[in-house]
Amino acid sequence: MKNTKLELSVGLFVVLGIAAIIYLTIQVGTGSMLSGDTYLIESRFANAGGLHSGSTVLLAGVTVGRVEGIRMESSDYSAIVTLRILSALRLPTDSMASIKTTGLIGDKFVSLSPGADDTYLESGSRITLTESAVDLESLIGKMAFGSVEKEKAQQDPK
């Protein structure tokens, strides 16, 4: 009888532990672990390659938000990235948003650099200074094929 109670207690403890792990995994995956009030701002990028909803937004290496969504602007074929930022963070209107990579081929994140303006971005406003993602494959292609073109031009002068 005593073993049955002990086994039941251990089994219940294991089930609660698994449920807690599943809950935390879902919370971290959706980016809802961001505590406190937040507001939405947008930024326009020519290339948002590799960035996805749920990516982190960093300022000085500290997580201050998440990417809420990415959509295409049909008028100029640019990517509009919606960022959910902590309300405690007041960004000047001349702030800059850049898409960076963790490591050489790691995940993409948005890096914010605050400006020096006296006015601040409000909810729904747009960051106008942006730096798009670097496309590593095209850079390697340009280096590889660019050097081939230079060799051809040197061998075959016109």
Domain shared by 78 and 26, yes or no: no
Domain shared by 26 and 101, yes or no: no
Q: What is the pLDDT of residues 126-144, one digit of tens each?
A: 887 777 666 666 667 777 7
- The total of structural domains in the chain comes to 2
Look at residue 88 and tell me whether its pLDDT is greater than 70.
yes
What's the domain range around 16?
1-30
Question: DSSP states of 63-117 as a string?
Answer: EEEEEEEEEEETTTTEEEEEEEEETT---BTT-EEEEEESTTT--EEEEEE----
pTM: 0.64
Q: What is the pLDDT of residues 38-59, one digit of tens each?
A: 888 888 888 887 888 888 888 8
Task: Name residue 12's amino acid.
Answer: L
Domain shared by 55 and 74, yes or no: yes
Q: Is residue 154 part of a domain?
A: no
Rounded CA gap, 131 and 48, in Å? 10
Q: What is the pLDDT of residues 91-107, one digit of tens each?
A: 888 888 888 888 766 78
Q: Is residue 155 part of a domain?
A: no
